[in-house]
């Protein structure tokens, strides 16, 4: 059966053919006109095409703290470059240059060779970066003897506070080959490689401009034809308070660990510390192999942001969640009593309290104040760990906080189902015990701990931790302010919350409280200590450093009536939370209280 297509299609297709032929003929006529008729004209134009676009780099955005104090700036430096195509006798020019500035001819040759593979014709090749004023002066003065040699002004990134806040600021470096491919951008451009420099690279970098110049046959500039000005990058105002940041860095000192301070009313991060830190000034001009070797093989991982990328067993700070889960779900009442004899026995296993001779009989309040393990073993079992995990998750534990810093880790809050699925093993009552005091599988990062204590302080509001307060467009002065990002509200029984808060106040202010070292003369503080055992943990760092001492935790907020700051401190292998971490939190809170009211910008 011959069907064929409908008649109308058969009639329309020749029209399409006619249309195609017509356009092809028009294009051929155009080509003939351009190439045959006016060919000579365009050929001459191409031979004398002496118009070159020169890229003008945009100045990168400046970074300030919340009060407008400088954190990252650009300083003017000068580079010396050579355009080999513009040099009649390259060898002679190189020798002449080497005799003027501090560089050997061999080094110049090496610089030219390494640039050769990425350089387009007539593009300058950098010979020496950040030359001294004297070198700039002599090179400019002897300009006539140095055809093809250029002195380029450059903006160089400078981090005046060096290691302070290095992990959230990050650093810039030569754009990697992979980024180049992805973004179709200019070669040799510097881009953010870590921290906020990377997160907000597109805001900070601005848009390149172009200068059109006409050059003569020797490649020398004859005339400026026009300029398309670069658009500078946007300035960032962070939520960081540099005074609080410095206080936190100094309080942590040489110990490894992380400190996060946050405004509990909106999630603005006031300080974020990870030690050891590094000097970001090593990077903008390309880090030397020696420095890179030192940084990347350092067993204490200075490039690692412990505040968001490291997760630790929470130890007793997790008891806040257990207490809240118990009270809020109604599984326990504030008056339920447990007698601690220094340990609890289940089957053949014995689970010890940190206080060997036991706490005697106590109820919730004193159990929090003295951080009694046996009380929380008992209550953890009564509440059930899946119920506790539900509360932990509602406080954002076990998932990333969403702070805009690279590679945040989610940590872990286990459940029965999780253990069966992942470890293919049943959930034992012993798992409930040890996880109820923040050991076992529980893992969280300092930023998560800070988010948790913020939610306790503000009555159950979960904010996404934020580092960027506002951006300013340098061209028109327009300021864009970012409002807090409210992630969710934890619906809590107010009496339960009050009960836990009273306990946290007691930790710092009552006799026998584990956190008395956080007591301050300037304000009232509520907090919780944590001492996390490392030994049972499969921790890589342990192997590397051979350290097995406990991690010290302290989470706190202040003032207790109307909290304006929440702090989380983690000191790796720091021993007892009360002895090591609590004083650090106190110093951060006190620095904040000193500056609060005088400098807080809104």
Which stretches of the chain bind other proteins, using CB under 8 A?
A: 1-10, 12-13, 16-17, 19-21, 23-24, 26-28, 30-32, 34-36, 38-43, 45-47, 49, 51, 53, 116-117, 120-122, 182-184, 212, 225-226, 228
Closest approach, Cβ 141 to other proteins, in A, equals 32
Largest Cα–Cα separation, the chain: 106
| Bridge partners for 351 per DSSP | 344
Dist CA 204 CA 200 (whole Å): 6
132 a catalytic residue: no
Min separation Cβ 23 and other proteins, Å: 5
Smallest distance, Å, CB 280 to other proteins?
26
Q: Report in angstroms how near the CB of residue 194 gets to other proteins at its nearest.
A: 20
Distance CA 551, CA 217 (A): 70
Nearer to other proteins, 212 or 246 (CB): 212
Confirm if 564 and 511 have CB atoms less than 8 A apart: no
Opening angle at CA 415, ends 412 and 419, nearest 5: 90
Closer of 26 and 417 to other proteins (Cβ): 26
3-state secondary structure of 308: helix
Whole-number CA gyration radius for the chain: 33
CB of residue 404 vs other proteins: minimum separation in angstroms? 16
Instruction: Report the C-alpha gap between 6 and 565 in whole angstroms.
Output: 78
Determine the Cα–Cα distance for residues 260 and 589; give it in Å rounded to an integer. Answer: 11
Residue 528 phi/psi, 5° resolution?
Answer: -150, 135
Q: Which is nearer to other proteins, 38 or 486 (CB)?
A: 38
Shortest approach of other proteins to residue 530 CB, angstroms?
38
33 or 428: CB nearest other proteins: 33
Which of 582, 43, 6 is CA-nearest to residue 317?
582
**Minimum distance of other proteins from residue 227's CB (angstroms):** 10
User: Based on CB atoms, which residue is closest to other proteins, 30 or 143?
Assistant: 30
Q: Which is nearer to other proteins, 122 or 428 (CB)?
A: 122
Q: Whole-angstrom Cα distance, residue 396 to residue 402?
A: 10
Judged by beta carbon, residue 223 or residue 352, the one nearer other proteins is 223
Residue 589 phi, psi (nearest 5): -65, -40
Q: Name the residue with tokens 């195509």.
A: 85
Query: Closest approach of Cβ 324 to other proteins, in Å?
Result: 36
In sequence order, what E strands does 386-482 have?
461-463, 468-472, 479-481
CB of 165 to other proteins, least distance (A): 29
Sequence-ordered alpha helix ranges (H) in 50-200: 90-100, 105-116, 133-141, 166-169, 177-183, 195-199
CB of 9 to other proteins, least distance (A): 5
| CB hemisphere CA count around 522 (13 angstroms) | 13
Do residues 353 and 340 make contact, with C-beta atoms less than 8 angstroms apart? yes
Environment class of 201 (CB within 10 Å of its CB; exposed 0-12, middle 13-18, buried 19+):
buried
393: left (phi over 0), alpha (psi -120 to 50) or beta: alpha
Nearer to other proteins by Cβ, of 28 and 428: the residue is 28
- Judged by phi (left if over 0) then psi (alpha if -120 to 50, else beta), residue 546 lies in left
Candidates 316, 436, 454, 509; catalytic one: 316
The nearest distance, CB 52 to other proteins, in angstroms, is 8
Residue 82's nearest CA partner among 73, 69, 93 is: 93
Half-sphere exposure of 565 (CA within 13 A, CB side): 31
DSSP string, 337-397: -EEE-SEEEETTEEEE-SSTT--EEE-HHHHHHHT-HHHHHHHHHHH-HHHHHHHHHHTTT
Name the residue nearer to other proteins (CB basis): 20 or 137.
20
Whether residue 334 contacts residue 347, with contact meaning beta carbons closer than 8 Å, is answered with no
Q: Which is nearer to other proteins, 39 or 88 (CB)?
A: 39
- For the annotated catalytic residues, the residue numbers are 316
């Amino acid at each position: 059966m011959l069907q064929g297509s409908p008649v109308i299609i058969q009639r329309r297709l020749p029209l399409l053919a006619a249309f195609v032929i017509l356009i092809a003929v028009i294009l051929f006529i155009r080509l003939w006109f351009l190439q045959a008729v006016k060919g000579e004209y365009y050929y001459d134009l191409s031979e004398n095409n002496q118009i070159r676009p020169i890229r003008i780099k945009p100045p990168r955005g400046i970074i300030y703290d919340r009060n407008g104090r400088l954190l990252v700036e650009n300083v003017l430096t000068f580079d010396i470059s050579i355009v080999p195509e513009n040099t009649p006798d390259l060898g002679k020019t190189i020798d002449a240059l080497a005799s003027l500035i501090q560089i050997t001819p061999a080094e110049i040759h090496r610089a030219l060779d390494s640039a050769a593979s990425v350089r387009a014709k007539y593009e300058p090749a950098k010979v020496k970066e950040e030359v001294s004023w004297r070198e700039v002066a002599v090179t400019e003065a002897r300009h006539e003897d140095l055809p093809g040699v250029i002195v380029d002004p450059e903006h160089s990134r400078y981090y005046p506070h060096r290691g302070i806040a290095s992990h959230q600021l990050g650093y810039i470096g030569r754009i990697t080959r992979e980024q180049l491919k992805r973004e179709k951008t200019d070669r040799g451009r510097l881009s953010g490689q870590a921290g906020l420099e990377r997160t907000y690279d597109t805001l900070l970098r601005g848009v390149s401009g172009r200068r059109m110049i006409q050059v003569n046959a020797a490649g020398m500039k004859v005339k400026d034809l026009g300029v398309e000005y670069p658009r500078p990058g946007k300035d960032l105002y962070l939520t960081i308070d540099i005074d609080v940041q410095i206080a936190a860095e100094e309080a942590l000192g040489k110990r490894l660990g992380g400190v996060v301070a946050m405004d509990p009313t909106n999630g603005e991060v006031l300080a974020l510390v990870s030690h050891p830190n590094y000097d970001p000034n090593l990077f903008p001009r390309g880090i030397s192999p020696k420095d890179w070797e030192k940084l990347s093989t350092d067993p204490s991982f200075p490039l690692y942001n412990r505040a968001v990328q490291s997760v630790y067993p929470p130890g007793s700070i997790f008891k806040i969640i257990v207490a809240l889960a118990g009270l809020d779900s109604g599984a326990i009442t504030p008056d339920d009593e447990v007698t601690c004899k220094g340990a609890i026995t289940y089957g053949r296993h014995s689970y010890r309290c940190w206080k060997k001779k036991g706490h005697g009989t106590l109820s919730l309040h004193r159990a929090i104040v003295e951080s009694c393990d046996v009380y929380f073993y008992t209550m953890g079992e009564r509440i059930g760990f899946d119920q506790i995990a539900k509360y932990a998750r509602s406080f954002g534990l076990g998932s990333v906080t969403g702070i805009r810093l690279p590679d945040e880790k989610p940590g872990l809050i286990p459940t029965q189902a999780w253990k069966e699925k992942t470890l293919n093993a049943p959930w034992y009552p012993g798992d409930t015990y040890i996880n109820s005091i923040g050991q076992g599988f529980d893992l969280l990062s300092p930023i998560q701990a800070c988010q948790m204590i913020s939610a306790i302080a503000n009555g159950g509001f979960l904010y996404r931790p934020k580092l960027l307060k506002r951006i300013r467009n340098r061209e028109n002065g327009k300021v864009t302010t970012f409002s807090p990002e409210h992630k969710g509200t934890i619906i809590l029984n107010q009496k339960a919350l009050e009960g836990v808060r009273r306990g946290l106040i007691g930790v710092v202010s009552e006799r026998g409280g584990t956190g008395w070292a956080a007591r301050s003369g300037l304000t009232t503080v509520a907090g919780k200590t944590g001492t996390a055992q490392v030994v049972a943990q499969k921790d890589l760092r342990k192997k590397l450093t051979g350290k097995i001492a406990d991690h010290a935790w302290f989470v706190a907020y202040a003032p207790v009536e109307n909290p304006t700051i929440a702090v989380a401190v983690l000191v790796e292998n720091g021993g007892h939370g009360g002895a090591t971490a609590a004083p650090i939190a106190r110093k951060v809170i006190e620095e904040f209280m000193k500056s609060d009211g005088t400098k807080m910008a809104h």
